[in-house]
Chain A
Amino acid sequence: MIRLSAHLRATLQRTTPPLLIVLSAAIILLGKADQTMFESLRTTLTDDAAPALDAVSRPLAAAATLVDRVRGLFEVYRDNRRLERENERLLQWQQIALKLSADNHNLQALLKAVPEQTASYVTARVIANSGGSYVRTVMINAGAAQGLARGQAATIGEGLVGRLTEVGQRASRLLLITDLNSRIPVVIEGSHVNAVLAGDNSERPQLVFVDEPQRIKVGDRIITSGEGGVFPPGLPVGLVATLEHGIARVEPYAELSQLGYVLVADYGLSGGLPQPAPVAARPARRSKQPAADEASIR
Chain B
Amino acid sequence: MALQVFSSPSLPRVNSGFGRVLPMATTVLAALIAILPLRVPGYAALTPAFALMAVYHWSIYRPDLLPAIGLFAIGLGQDLLVGAPVGVSALILLLTRTAVLRFRRHFVNRTFPFVWAGFTLLSAAAMLTGWVMHCLIYQTFFSLRTVVFRTVLTVAIFPVAGFALGRAQRTLIGVAAAARPG
Contact = CB atoms under 8 A, between A and B. Distances in A.
Contacts of A61: 37
Contact of A130 (B35, B67, B71, B75): B35
Interface stretch (A145-153, A224-232, A241-249, A252-260): A252-260
A135 B7 contact: no
Interface residues of A, number: 57
A27 B133 CA distance: 13
A13 B6 contact: yes
Contacts of A133: 79, 82, 84, 89
A186 to B, nearest CB: 21
Nearest to B5: A13
B98 interface: yes
B91 interface: yes
Nearest to B143: A202
A32 B85 contact: yes
B54 to A, nearest CB: 14
Nearest to A21: B94
Contact of A132 (B48, B90, B98): B48
B64 to A, nearest CB: 9
A263 interface: no
A46 B81 contact: yes
A49 interface: yes
B95 to A, nearest CB: 7
B35 A131 contact: yes
B37 A57 contact: yes
**Secondary structure of the B side of the interface?**
helix
B44 A42 contact: no
Interface stretch (B113-121, B134-142, B158-166, B173-181): B134-142
Contacts of B57: none
Contacts of B48: 132
Given A57-B37, A201-B45, A21 B98 contact: yes
A76 interface: no
Contact of A257 (B41, B71, B91): B41
Contacts of B3: 13-14, 17
A133 B138 CA distance: 13
A189 interface: no
B177 to A, nearest CB: 19
B46 interface: yes
Interface string A155-172: 000000000011000000
Given A20-B69, A57-B37, A131-B34, A136 B44 contact: yes
B133 A28 contact: yes
Interface stretch (A93-101, A121-129, A264-272): A121-129
Interface in B67-97: 67-69, 71-72, 75-91, 94-95, 97
23 contacts: A13-B6, A14-B4, A24-B94, A26-B87, A27-B86, A31-B87, A32-B137, A38-B86, A42-B81, A46-B80, A52-B32, A64-B39, A128-B81, A130-B35, A132-B44, A132-B47, A133-B79, A133-B82, A134-B134, A134-B138, A180-B138, A257-B42, A260-B39
Interface of A: 10, 13-14, 16-17, 20-21, 23-28, 31-32, 38, 41-42, 45-46, 49, 52-53, 56-57, 60-61, 64, 126-139, 165-166, 173, 175, 180, 200-203, 255, 257-260, 298
